[in-house]
A and B are shown apart, each in its own frame.
Chain A
Amino acid sequence: MLVSAIAGGFIGTLVFSTVVKAASEMALTRMDLTLLLGTTVTDNRRKARAIGFIFHLLLGVVFAMAYAAFFRIIGHSAWWLGAIGGTVHAVFTSTVLVNMLLPIVHPRMATTETAADETTLIEPPGFLMLNYGRSTFLVSLAAHIAYGISVALIVRV
């Protein structure tokens, strides 16, 4: 199960990234998770994107393990379960993870507490990440559902 969860997380994250990038090219969103994640550790744009991509892959694998554990507990895995998992995942990341937690831990993201002693800052995502475009939540939802389905189809219970 572990190997299939890692494979599912890897492939699911690639599918997720492809959906988000396509949406970005279609001017539906300004969400850029690689930049957001990478700038937690560096203020160099190029390095940030490379590091952010690795972070994102690792997070994708971690979440896939959680999916796999869930499938194992209920003793069943199916694409529609992955889709439901992706929906819950999207709501969780858009409200709690990225909207609330990321600005707290991100050293370069603007918050309401940012003061004059801090310099150039990254725009916060806002509720449902709508600061990055009105369609951002829908893009995130579609990408997470695609991720969930990919994981569900690959994970062996």
Chain B
Amino acid sequence: MSRIDGYAPIEDYALIGDGRTAALVARDGAIDWLCLPNFDSPSVFAAILDRQRGGAFELQPEGAFESSRRYLPRTNVLETTFTTGTGTVRVVDALTLPGPKLAPMRELARSIEGVAGAVPMRWRVQPRFAYGGHAPRCEWRLGMPVAAWGAEAMAIAHRNAGTPAWRGDGVEGRFEIGAGGRALLALAGAYAEPLVLPDADAVAGRLEATIRFWTEWAGERPCDGPWADLVMRSALALKLMIFAPSGAAVAAPTTSLPEEIGGQRNWDYRFCWIRDSNFMISALMRLGCHAEARSLFWWFMQATALTEPDLHVLYRLDGGVGPREHRVPLSGYRGSAPVRVGNGALEQAQHDIYGALLETACLYSEGERALDRDTGAVLARIADRVCDIWRQPDSGIWEVRNGPFHFTHSKVMCWVALDRAVKMAGDGEVPARHADRWRREAAAIREYVDTECWSSELRSYTRTAGSRDVDASLLMLPLVGYGDPRGDRVRGTIDAVNRLLRNGDFVRRYRADDGVPGGEGAFLNCSFWLVGALARCGRLDEAGELMDNLAGRANDVGLFSEEIDPPSGAFLGNFPQALVHLALVDAALALQGKA
């Protein structure tokens, strides 16, 4: 792998995590992204966003090497094999699960094993707290290097990994490992509490237990079909993006990986979007993750309790609102500034989220259990709210910053909200007092969409009412049950998107201006939506061929970022992105007739 100006290609990263935070491991052995103690905490390693000031945990052979890697089968534990002129060495990386005994608040384990010959290795831990803003206090505790700042601290445990020494504001070591030799490095993190200093044997035990947990978890969720491996990897990646303490799911575990190299479209995705909820619940239930689906649904109901019947576009992982978007002094991935923390979409009006939430509740009540009376009352109030607001313009699914507009997708999702409310009222899940009003307004939305948002010239629904553009979000119409998937209107819309937005395997979101300067890559979720839409309208060969092509675009460990640069195939945007993996799962299941 070659770095450009010190930055690894985004597709050369793999994700490890423990359900509370996650780290990105580059193919050359550097951990360039880690926030402690949680996904949305400030970073301690952010070299992916600033090579000089971000901080990293490097571990690699001293000389020239080649590397290959994989996840240990059916786990989220990464194995990287380095091959050098003198030998071969294997590194296993994981964020370990704590288990019932006293363990560090967070623990990153790196187990090193000599495979052949003898390989000189070097490692360096250079933490930078608060998004690169603070170098650490460099100290020792009983022979163990400790870096601390404010309420944060980390200790670096080591066995057979050389003699660590502080050099500048990083600690480093060198050692040689021969065939059969073993070494261990472990980073123990603490926030607002004393460090728990890890013993090497205990770390090794937790690493084994972590591998066992993931294997068992995956074993309980059998996948079949031609894309089974990719679906399983998606399930494992999605599980990593669920914040276990609350059940919320991040849209991606990173911030500000750019949509265009050098561009300004750099956003923080470490929040839970209501929009992703119906995809997430649907995917989790179809993958057999019922406990995770239940947890996520109740998180949604608790998070929205303070704001209902109005909903925010996104919520913090603890269910709160905010923080406001601001910039941090990192130079950005390959100079792609600014680096943002927080997300300005928080303040936007996006009406599609009401449909997402009601659809989520409907899926949950179908697949899991009856809703309680209070939840039903909240959902009824939200449905009433949709009746009040659907005629107003909004910022839409893509969170445009030059709106608001009358987006077709938003109107359709308002229809979804009322359609599902009527259905749940019929099932006795939601109070039926206003069901007639919901029915009336749903019919009015349908009439509006079918007249104002339809172009006879394009033979397609349009991006906004009265426009002559199409939008990839229209591919979701058959996914959410709007219209007959084999009818002329839906098929015409799919054809129009194919014709006007598709370039090879990739589908642009839209061609219109969105109020944000700069360009972007192709959003991969749009391509998977196209697969799902084609499959639902019976064009299975076309859908299968596109699915095969897209599967070949995953990186070497089966992960996708938000976007791809069509000419080069390079990943762009936050990585890995939950929505892409959710769309992948939906597409694979749709192709098997299970969606």
Residues of A within 8 A of B (CB): 24-25, 27-32, 35-36, 39, 43-45, 48, 108, 110-112, 114, 118-125, 131-134
Contacts and interface: CB of A to CB of B under 8 A. Distances in A.
Interface in B160-214: 190-199, 201-202
Contacts of A132: 194
Interface of B: 98, 100-104, 137, 139, 141-142, 146, 148, 150-153, 155, 190-199, 201-202
Contacts of A133: 148, 150-151
Given A48-B102, A120-B197, A120-B198, 14 more contacts: A24-B151, A29-B151, A29-B192, A30-B148, A30-B194, A31-B194, A44-B101, A111-B142, A118-B199, A119-B202, A120-B103, A120-B202, A123-B146, A131-B194
Ranked 8 nearest A-B pairs via Cβ: A27-B150, A43-B102, A123-B195, A32-B193, A27-B151, A24-B192, A123-B194, A119-B199
Given A30-B190, A44-B101, A45-B102, A121 B150 contact: no
Nearest to A24: B192
Contacts of B142: 110-112, 114, 124
B54 to A, nearest CB: 20
A125 B202 contact: no
24 contacts: A24-B192, A27-B150, A27-B152, A30-B152, A30-B190, A30-B191, A31-B194, A32-B192, A44-B102, A45-B102, A48-B102, A108-B102, A110-B197, A119-B201, A120-B196, A120-B202, A122-B102, A122-B197, A123-B146, A123-B194, A123-B197, A124-B141, A124-B142, A134-B137
Contacts of A35: 193-194
A113 to B, nearest CB: 10
A28 B197 contact: no
A120 B102 CA distance: 7
B503 to A, nearest CB: 48
Nearest to B105: A45
Contacts of B190: 30, 123
Contacts of A112: 142
Contacts of B197: 110, 120-123
Contacts of A43: 101-102
A82 B195 CA distance: 33
B186 to A, nearest CB: 11
Contacts of B151: 24-25, 27-30, 133
B101 A120 contact: yes
Nearest to B155: A123
Nearest to B100: A44
Contacts of B194: 30-32, 35-36, 122-123, 125, 131-132
Contacts of B141: 110, 123-124, 131
Contacts of B196: 120-123
A43 B153 CA distance: 21
B153 A30 contact: yes
Contacts of B202: 119-120
Nearest to B197: A121
Contacts of B103: 120
B101 A30 contact: no
Nearest to B150: A27
A108 to B, nearest CB: 6
A5 B499 CA distance: 82
Contacts of A44: 100-102
Nearest to A32: B193
Contacts of B198: 120
Nearest to B194: A123
Contacts of A122: 102, 194-197
A63 to B, nearest CB: 22
B199 A30 contact: no
Most buried by B among A44, A45, A48: A45
A118 B198 CA distance: 10
A39 B102 contact: yes
Contacts of A124: 141-142
A118 B142 CA distance: 13
Most buried by B among A29, A43, A118, A119: A119
Given A110-B141, A114-B142, A131-B141, A30 B193 contact: yes
A109 B98 CA distance: 18
A102 B588 CA distance: 58
Contacts of A121: 196-197, 199
Nearest to A44: B100
A139 to B, nearest CB: 11
Nearest to A113: B142
A157 B101 CA distance: 46
B195 A25 contact: no
A17 to B, nearest CB: 13
B192 A30 contact: yes
A20 to B, nearest CB: 10
Nearest to A121: B197
Nearest to B103: A120
Contacts of B155: 123
A136 to B, nearest CB: 10
Contacts of B191: 30
B197 to A, nearest CB: 5
B46 to A, nearest CB: 18
A74 B196 CA distance: 44
